[in-house]
A and B are shown apart, each in its own frame.
Chain A
């Protein structure tokens, strides 16, 4: 079945003329039609655009284009702007919003010959850890549809995992790619901050957000990251010379690699099943010649707090543009209340409103120093601590998530507990470090992800290490058993 193939396999088949882009695209569209009801991955489909892009991709292949991802069907997270295709961020306030421009990432993917199938579900405005905060739809984990797929890039994870797209983009502010990748058995990667343009990504925590790939294999992931990355002059925070290269992906070796294990991420906060899976991997890799060291990175314990001050603060400002005037939905004002407040009060979901409130408070007169300013200082400390570790170690390894996929509705009453699940992933966003979640052995039939984090601009080395670890663990991509 075409939809079971990896991106490289699809591309190879296309270039060998075993199949056409149109056939591949239609295969995925058909599968979406048949199965998305069950998983709830998509918010919008664009079959006409997909077929038009398929035609363009086919022309490229016929002309001998050797691009490794030409003709591969993908999905974009619905907080990434797509011209002419509704972009909602899974929020009522953006229902009906059709951007007049494409995000740079969308342009890059199209230029690389990929085919856009549709837009995927997310926690509203990317604010969430489980995927349950979407105002429009519920996404289910393809491994067990009573369980969450993780968030905020819930739909993209479910789509790739359920083979409703070959690849998909996500965005990661505190773990929103790596957490769902971990819960759905995928490779999920957050590149170095600044290597993938944010132009067109609806901003949540501007200094933390990065767009990145979901894929079934590390090779697919690297190629996808390569295609979407690179300097963009429309984004002031974009780095020069930042295109990620896959050239050295399959070289290198694990022998003598020095990998740090921060004890703060191997505590009782981590589920025993997850811990066991990670430790099995550590054993295998030790035998492969990896030199593991237990270290302490105390700032990790401040990560969640610091994140939940900085991200909401930036978000409270970023979301001020949603007032119903130039785009999106609008609620008529009632009585003495301003139109803006009525629209925002009614159309933002509760988690979004909570974070706006937190952020506004943290920035307000009298509290700025104690909260926002201090949090940015702690962030500086954390980044410095990690950078110091990278002087000595090639990368840091830990669980990607303290838990495996939990049941839908299980954590909604304990919002703090949910936020603590970001413990492992947050540091990478704080320092702008590249970080990747790689599937490890299952824990009780559910996927577990290993998190690898490296120094700034060390994406290629990190991907290479991930590739080698993946091979050493002997993992073949495992389809969710129920598929």
Chain B
């Protein structure tokens, strides 16, 4: 088998997080009964006219800036003309051209396995509208639901020749891009619901060759994992075609999740002639310097930058920092805690440990693309709770085990840990006198074990510690208990 290099172009569509649709004011939402969020405009009734959604335009502008694009100061909408039942007007309003899309010539940095970063160049970031949903009915035939028709859609396409040259990079690009978009607040990023869709174009060529191979397009990829597997599968399939003396055909292929393989959907023998022309019903957009700067100023610290900062400033591991930045709210929670005086590692451990675990268990965690993103929006736990809790541990007011129990109560009640400690008298017992008497009582009522211990069975120290902890309702400082036990067991 010859050595092949794979090239991947990524086309990502993201449904924008607006209240209303792109060209009409129907509600944007997921699910619901078919054709209940429609109006004459979005079902393409004769005589209707589009009026663009200002928020959608600004979201694309914001994204274009975050992706380091050149902004098209004057930008227009085009009509992309083709026929399909899920396309109510017989054309999709989109944006065409090299320097007409709201953003072009940008890039996204992604981390590399070696620990650095690399730039993935982006050709265009543009605004368009989504189509309806064509559904195949169980008894045969097809029907259309136009609830989704007209939802604002942002399209992001990577540059050619592609900078992505492996399934891992393809996956990483998507992970980083999605994370960035969610950080910007322009999409909810729910791949499973179709808010973010990815269609890679995959081609291979022999190592050393400058001639790019024929590309195939892959659809129906609903997770990061599917994208990674899909790209790998296609690269392998194409290599096998070439090795057997065949030629790769330009095709659109679908991904079968169950069999983890791709299948032919349609052959793209000739390019579709979309007959793009500027939409006469829509007025051109013009972006002023003032508007661009205003939007730019709303861009928050982006995920990769944040991760790099956490690692540098707080010496957090890549894994830990990664968990924190995976969800912007989660990261903000962390930062708020630090602002309140919390110590980075401790807060991080509480968040990524007990807090995340309890959120997932109670059903408040959210899954996206395989990684769990605990959403603490409905949780009673606030940054100050963790700061308080961590301090109680670090100044030895309570022990680690007690802290975990207290946290469980904080999670359920929202009470401050200090308050719980006071109410329940949970202060760690450090009074050596009290510990000494507890130890003495335990030893007194466990004569045979004391004999055995003194006879050499030193492992019984654990038993004694347990008994003392029981006697002190778990509040004794374990270290002091150990010390006192050793003293009393040896001495006397």
Residues of A within 8 A of B (CB): 79-81, 87, 89, 94, 97, 99-101, 103, 198-203, 206-207, 233-237, 313-314, 316-317, 319-323, 325-327, 338, 340, 360, 363-365, 368, 372
Q: B residues within 8 A CB of A316?
A: 81, 275
Q: B residues within 8 A CB of A81?
A: 45-47
Q: Is B341 on the interface with A (CB-CB < 8 A)? A: no
Q: B residues within 8 A CB of A87?
A: 46
Contact A236–B52 (Cβ < 8 Å): yes
Residues of B within 8 Å of A, CB-based: how many? 27
Cβ of B143 to closest chain A Cβ, rounded Å = 10
Q: Is B51 on the interface with A (CB-CB < 8 A)? A: yes
Contact B90–A321 (Cβ < 8 Å): yes
Cβ of B134 to closest chain A Cβ, rounded Å = 11
Q: Give Cα A372 to B49, complex, Å.
A: 22
Contact A234–B277 (Cβ < 8 Å): no
Cβ of A12 to closest chain B Cβ, rounded Å = 34
- Among B50, B89, B277, find the residue whose CB has the most chain A CB atoms closer than 10 A: B277
Residues of B within 8 A of A (CB): 40, 43-52, 79, 81, 83, 85, 88-91, 144, 273, 275, 277, 280-283
Question: Are A327 and B47 CB-contacts (below 8 A) given A236-B282, A363-B81, A364-B273?
Answer: no
CB contact between B89 and one of A99, A320, A364 (< 8 Å): that residue:
A320
Q: B residues within 8 A CB of A327?
A: 45-46
Q: Give Cα A199 to B23, complex, Å.
A: 13
Q: B residues within 8 A CB of A97?
A: 46
Cβ of B285 to closest chain A Cβ, rounded Å = 11
- Among A199, A321, A363, find the residue whose CB has the most chain B CB atoms closer than 10 A: A321
Residue contacts A-B, CB under 8 angstroms, 12 given: A79-B47, A97-B46, A199-B47, A200-B47, A206-B281, A207-B280, A234-B49, A237-B283, A317-B275, A320-B83, A323-B83, A364-B275
CB contact between A326 and one of B44, B275, B277 (< 8 Å): that residue:
B44
Q: Which 6 A-B pairs have the closest CB atoms?
A: A320-B90, A363-B275, A206-B280, A207-B280, A202-B46, A200-B47
Contact A326–B47 (Cβ < 8 Å): no
Contact B144–A325 (Cβ < 8 Å): yes
- When C-beta atoms are compared, the residue in chain A nearest to B43 turns out to be A326
Q: Give Cα A145 to B383, complex, Å.
A: 86
Question: Are A103 and B275 CB-contacts (below 8 A) given A321-B88, A323-B90?
Answer: no
Cβ of A89 to closest chain B Cβ, rounded Å = 7
Cβ of B82 to closest chain A Cβ, rounded Å = 8
Contact A321–B273 (Cβ < 8 Å): no
Contact B275–A360 (Cβ < 8 Å): yes
Contact A317–B81 (Cβ < 8 Å): yes
Cβ of A343 to closest chain B Cβ, rounded Å = 11
Contact B46–A89 (Cβ < 8 Å): yes
CB contact between A94 and one of B46, B50, B79, B83 (< 8 Å): that residue:
B46
Cβ of B454 to closest chain A Cβ, rounded Å = 91
Q: Give Cα A89 to B47, complex, Å.
A: 11
Q: A residues within 8 A CB of B47?
A: 79-81, 99, 103, 199-203
Q: A residues within 8 A CB of B49?
A: 198-199, 234-237
Q: B residues within 8 A CB of A94?
A: 46
Cβ of A182 to closest chain B Cβ, rounded Å = 27
Cβ of A353 to closest chain B Cβ, rounded Å = 15
Question: Are A320 and B91 CB-contacts (below 8 A) given A100-B45, A236-B51, A363-B81?
Answer: yes
- When C-beta atoms are compared, the residue in chain A nearest to B89 turns out to be A321
18 new A-B contacts, CB < 8 A, other than A94-B46, A99-B40, A206-B280, are A81-B46, A97-B46, A99-B47, A100-B45, A202-B47, A203-B46, A203-B47, A206-B281, A236-B281, A237-B281, A320-B81, A321-B46, A323-B85, A325-B85, A327-B46, A363-B275, A365-B275, A368-B277
Contact B45–A326 (Cβ < 8 Å): yes
Contact A340–B48 (Cβ < 8 Å): no
Q: B residues within 8 A CB of A368?
A: 275, 277
Q: Give Cα A325 to B45, complex, Å.
A: 11
